[in-house]
Structure 1
Amino acid sequence: MTIAVAYRPDDFGKGALRWAAAEAQATGQHLVIITVDEIDPEFEEPHEIDLSEFTERFDLEDLDYEIRRAASLDVADVVIEQATEAGAERLVIGIRKRTPVGKMLMGRVTQMILLDAPMPVIAVKP
Structure 2
Amino acid sequence: MTMAIVVGFVPSPEGRAALTRAIEEARLRGRRLIVLNASRGDALVDSRYASSSDWDAVKTQLEESGVEHEVTQHVEAKDPADQILKVAAQTNAELIVIGLRRRTPVGKLIMGSAAQTILLEADAPVLSVKAAREDEK
The TM-score normalised by the length of structure 2 is 0.78
Which aligned segments of 4 or more residues in structure 1 are displaced greater than 6 angstroms? none
CA distance in 2, matches of 1:85, 1:52: 22
Percent identity between the aligned chains? 36
Task: Please give the root-mean-square deviation of Cα atoms over the aligned residues, in Å.
Answer: 2.2
Pairwise CA distance, 1:87: 1.2
CA shift, 1:55, in A, is: 3.4
Query: How many residues are paired up?
Result: 121
Residue pairs, 1:1-126, within 5 angstroms: 1-40=3-42, 47-48=51-52, 49-50=55-56, 51-55=58-62, 59-60=64-65, 62-73=66-77, 74-126=79-131
Offset at residue 110 of structure 1 (A): 1.0
- Tell me the SS of whatever aligns to 1:89: strand
- Asked whether the equivalents of residues 6 and 95 of structure 2 are also in contact (C-alpha less than 8 Å), the reply is yes
Unaligned 5+ runs, structure 1: none
Q: Which runs of 5+ in 2 are unaligned?
A: 132-137
Change (3 A) 1:99 1:114: same
TM-score under structure 1 length normalisation: 0.84
The 1-side partners of 2:4 and 2:18 are apart by 15
